[in-house]
């Protein structure tokens, strides 16, 4: 049997297989009123379909710790109890299908307050329902984005507390895994990279200072997240820049620190913090970054990035390059990818009784 369909245990939680769903924003929550940031029927149907399809872990899209932490006005949030109740409906169903529910907890930083991609994705001003973005330094993402407000030390600590509060609510909502979003040029990733972090205080300059905010968030979440449940961290392993960016070497060094601070798995992606860079995209193009972290630190990793075929995914695990694979667009195209892969590779994936006639 392919390693794709072997269970994986982290802390006391066992994942039924290693076909996992990567976080992908749906931009489908209400953007104003009492339903702001609340999961809708779209979210339920979207996640439920992938659970029925046999996915072992489903990580929700980036779920904001505060209104100003949303990427767009239509993002999910987890800063109030109304949002918790709607998410619990989803986690209850995922568990009923044998799927582990996980949540990616996020703050968009300087890339906040933008329109949904299908309406252009442009930054939104206050007159359009937007707000002033925040960041480690007054450095905009690109020429279209506004200059973010530089966070004070007190504001940084407030956001650390918001991540801890979000973790408490995530537990109340029934999630079994919490993932810190430190990738793709959002707030935590902005602090990590010298490309976006130009601070001269204890949160900028040296490597140790630039990782300080991320580790404070991890510590705050780990303090409230149960010891028997795993905590993940998503990283952009490189900015794909020559000179002033975050690098693969930085990622390996940081991964060792995350392991010491109680992170159980590194979700390894790349890019997103610098505009206009050329990324050598191809099948499995990010897998070597995950493999290097796993080899150098012993920290479990999940690989993501143009993993589309069952044989390709199985080979990544068989070669010891990752402990699990995260599928994004491929699961949008085929919610039952895990069932198809199991047929191809001879694995065993739970099929609901209502769908047994399809086996």
Q: How far is CA 179 from the centre of its chain?
A: 6
Active site residue 355: no
Query: How many other C-beta atoms are found inside a 10 Å radius of the C-beta of residue 180?
Result: 26
Residue 8's φ and ψ, nearest 5 degrees, are: -130, 130
Strand partners, 20: 57, 326
Measured CA to CA, the distance from residue 88 to residue 171 in angstroms comes to 10
Supply angle C-alpha 239, 242, 247, rounded to 5: 45
Query: How many other C-beta atoms are found inside a 10 Å radius of the C-beta of residue 63?
Result: 32
Measured CA to CA, the distance from residue 237 to residue 290 in angstroms comes to 8
> Two tokens at 174?
């029934």
> Two tokens at 240?
């794909």
DSSP annotation string for 285-332: TTHHHHHHHHHHH---EEEESS---HHHHHHHHHTTS-SEEEESHHHH
Measured CA to CA, the distance from residue 301 to residue 23 in angstroms comes to 15
Residues near 292 by Cβ (< 8 Å), separated by ≥ 6?
248, 251, 252
Supply angle C-alpha 10, 15, 20, rounded to 5: 110
Query: How many other C-beta atoms are found inside a 10 Å radius of the C-beta of residue 116?
Result: 17
285, 306 contact by CB (below 8 A): yes
Active-site residue identified among 186, 203, 285, 355: 186
Measured CA to CA, the distance from residue 290 to residue 36 in angstroms comes to 36
Residues marked as catalytic: 186
């Amino acid at each position: 049997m392919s390693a794709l369909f072997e269970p994986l245990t982290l802390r006391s939680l066992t994942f039924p297989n290693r076909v996992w769903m990567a976080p992908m924003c749906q931009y489908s929550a209400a953007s104003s009123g009492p339903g702001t940031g609340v999961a809708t029927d779209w979210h339920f149907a979207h996640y439920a379909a992938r659970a029925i399809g046999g996915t072992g872990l489903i990580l929700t899209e980036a779920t904001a710790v505060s209104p100003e932490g949303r990427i767009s006005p239509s993002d999910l949030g987890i800063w109030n109890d109304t949002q918790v109740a709607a998410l619990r409906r989803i986690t209850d169903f995922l568990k009923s299908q044998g799927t582990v529910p996980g949540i990616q907890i996020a703050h968009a930083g300087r890339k906040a307050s933008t329109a949904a991609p299908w309406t252009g994705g442009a930054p939104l001003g206050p007159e359009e329902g937007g707000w002033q973005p925040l960041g480690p330094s007054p450095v905009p993402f690109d020429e279209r984005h506004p200059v973010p407000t530089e966070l004070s030390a007190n504001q940084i600590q407030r956001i650390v507390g918001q991540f801890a509060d979000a973790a408490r609510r995530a537990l109340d909502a029934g999630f079994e895994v919490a993932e810190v979003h430190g990738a793709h040029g959002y707030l935590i990733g902005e602090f990590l990279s010298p490309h976006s972090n130009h601070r001269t205080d204890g949160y900028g300059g040296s490597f140790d200072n630039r990782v300080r905010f991320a580790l404070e968030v991890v510590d705050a979440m780990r303090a409230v997240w149960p010891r028997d449940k795993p905590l993940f961290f998503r990283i952009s392993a490189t900015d794909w820049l020559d000179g002033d960016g975050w690098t693969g070497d930085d990622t390996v060094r940081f991964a060792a620190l995350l392991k010491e601070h109680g992170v159980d798995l590194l979700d390894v992606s790349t890019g997103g913090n610098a505009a206009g860079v050329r990324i050598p995209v191809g099948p499995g193009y990010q897998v070597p970054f995950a493999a290097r972290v796993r080899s150098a630190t012993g920290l479990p990793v999940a690989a993501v990035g143009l993993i589309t075929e069952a044989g390709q995914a199985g080979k990544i695990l068989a070669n010891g390059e990752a402990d699990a694979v995260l599928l994004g667009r491929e699961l949008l195209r085929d919610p039952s990818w895990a069932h198809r892969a199991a047929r191809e590779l001879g694995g065993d994936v739970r099929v609901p009784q209502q769908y047994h006639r399809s086996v």
